[in-house]
Amino acid sequence: MKLCFISMLSSMILCMSERRTNTADNFSDLNRFGSALAETARVWRMRLDQRLRPLGLSQAKWRALLNVARDGEGMTQKALAERLGIEGPSLVGLLDRLAADGWIERLVCAEDRRVRRIYLTEKARATLQDIEAVATQLREEIFGDIPERELRQCLDVLQRIRDKADSLP
């Protein structure tokens, strides 16, 4: 149960958007499942973003760094854009900022000079431990009074929903 839980929630939100109502209503009706999920993910990301800001990282930056770290160094820009759910031109601006701030390097692929691969700098690798520590602390605070059995059941249901959504045409 790492930070990828947040990513899984965010991915599912794209498939399940409804008209937004007040938060209490979102959690009382199965027809508003997507809204409840979106609101939960939004609040969680907002809290994590607040805690990571002192490290000099916005949500866009820490999400990009974590995805490169998890998918492996040398990830292509195209693969990262798909993973983050953003268009290539939007990603280029983000990568320009990450490179200027010393978080990443972009190198031309030896096999295809049109492709750029993303590599973390030592600064980013060292900071990833801090990101994980902050995320773990927040997760423990959020999950603190929820029994592990219920959390595992929730993850199982979310996985099944995501798998079903992914399988649809």
Residue with tokens 């609040």, as numbered in its chain? 43
More confident residue, 4 or 70: 70
CA-to-CA dists, residue 109 to 7, 114, 119, 133, angstroms: 27, 7, 12, 33
The domains of the chain are located at 4-167
Place of tokens 């602390």: 137
What pLDDT sits at residue 164? 95
pLDDT (average), residues 92-121: 91
pLDDT of residue 131: 93
Residue 24 confidence class, pLDDT cut points 50, 70, 90: low
Please enumerate in sequence order all residues whose Cβ is within 8 A of that of 84, keeping only pairs 6 or more positions apart, or say none.
63, 64, 67, 91
pLDDT at res. 115 = 84
pTM over 0.75: no
The rounded mean pLDDT for the chain is 85
pLDDT band at 106 (very low <50, low <70, confident <90, very high): very high
Which of these CATH numbers, 1.10.357.140, 1.10.540.10, 1.10.10.10, 3.40.50.300, describes 4-167? 1.10.10.10
Give pLDDT tens digits for 110-163: 888 888 899 999 999 999 999 999 999 999 999 999 999 999 999 999 999 999
Q: What SS3 class is residue 104?
A: strand
Predicted confidence (pLDDT) per residue in 43-79, tens digit: 999 999 999 999 989 889 999 999 999 988 899 889 9
pLDDT category at 108 given cuts 50, 70, 90 is: confident
Cα–chain center distance at 55:
17
Q: Please state, in angstroms and as integers, the Cα–Cα distance from residue 16 to each residue in 42, 66, 81, 124, following that order.
A: 14, 24, 21, 33
